[in-house]
Amino acid sequence: MAKGNGKSDVQNIDAEHELPAAEEDGFEERAAEQPAATAGVEDEIKTLRQERGVLYDRLARLQAEFDNARKRAAREQAEFREYAVADAVKALLPMLDSFDRALEAHAGEENFRGIELINRQFHDALAKLGLRPIPAAGEPFDPRLHQAVEMVDTAEAADNTVLEELQRGYKLKDRLLRPAMVRVARNPHK
C-alpha cells in the first residue's frame, strides 16, 4: 500500500464497509415487520399467562388435596388412639361383671368391705378411660343400646319398657362397647 494523504485510505475503508442498497431497503422492511413480530410475542405471552393460570389452579387443588389428606390422617390417628383401649377394656368387662354379681349376692356383709373398695376403684379407673354404663332398668327399650333376651307379658309396666337388666351394657366414650342384655315388657291387652 502506498502512502498517501490519508483521505484516500479513509475513503477506501468507507467503500469497503458501505452497505449495499438492497440491504438498506431490507432494514426498512424489517422495521415495518416488527409490529407483526411484537404481536406474535404478545400472543405467546398471553398463552404463557393462561398456562400459568392453569398451573396455579392445579397447584392450589393439589395443595388442598394434600391438606385434606393430612387432616384425614390426623383425624384417623386421633380416633385410633381414642379407641385403641377398647379391646383391653372389653376383655376386662367379664371381671367387672363378676365383681358386681359377687357384691350383689353378699351386699352388706362385713367380709366384703375390701372387695367393695376394690370394685369401686376398678369402676373409677375404667370411667377415667371413658367407660360408661348404659342405663337400662325402667328405660324405654332402645335396640341400639339394649339386647332383648326376653319379652315379658305384663300390665305393670308400659309397653317396650326395660323390666330388668340381666347384664350391664357399656359405652366407651361415644362408641357402644357391649349392649345391655334386658327383659322387656309387652302389654298384650293394649
CB 97 within 8 A of CB 105: no
Q: What is the pLDDT of residue 2?
A: 45
Q: Where are the alpha helices (DSSP H) in 84-156?
A: 86-105, 113-128
Which is it for strands 175-178 and 170-172: parallel, antiparallel or unpaired?
A: antiparallel
Same domain, 123 and 175: yes
Distances (CA, A) of 13 to 5, 9, 17: 14, 6, 6
> What cell was used for 32?
415495518
| Domain annotation covers residue 160 | yes
| Domain annotation covers residue 22 | no
Same domain, 119 and 151: yes
* 179: nearest Cα among 163, 160, 166: 166
- Give CA–CA dist 48/68, Å, rounded: 30
Q: What is the pLDDT of residue 37?
A: 63
pTM over 0.85: no
Domain holding 63, by residue range, is 29-83
| Domain annotation covers residue 71 | yes
| Residue in the structure block whose three cell numbers are 319398657 | 161
Instruction: From first to last of the 190 residues of the chain, give the pLDDT tens digit.
Output: 445 555 555 455 555 555 454 444 555 555 555 565 677 888 889 999 999 999 999 999 999 999 999 999 999 988 887 777 888 888 889 988 888 888 887 776 777 778 888 888 989 999 998 889 988 888 888 888 888 888 888 777 777 888 888 888 999 888 888 898 888 888 776 5
Domain count, the chain: 2
CB 139 within 8 A of CB 164: no
| CATH number for the domain that contains residue 112 | 2.30.22.10
CB 137 within 8 A of CB 163: yes
* 116: nearest Cα among 67, 153, 108: 108
Same domain, 78 and 90: no
CB 115 within 8 A of CB 103: yes
DSSP E strands in the chain: the ranges are 131-133, 146-153, 162-167, 170-172, 175-178, 180-186
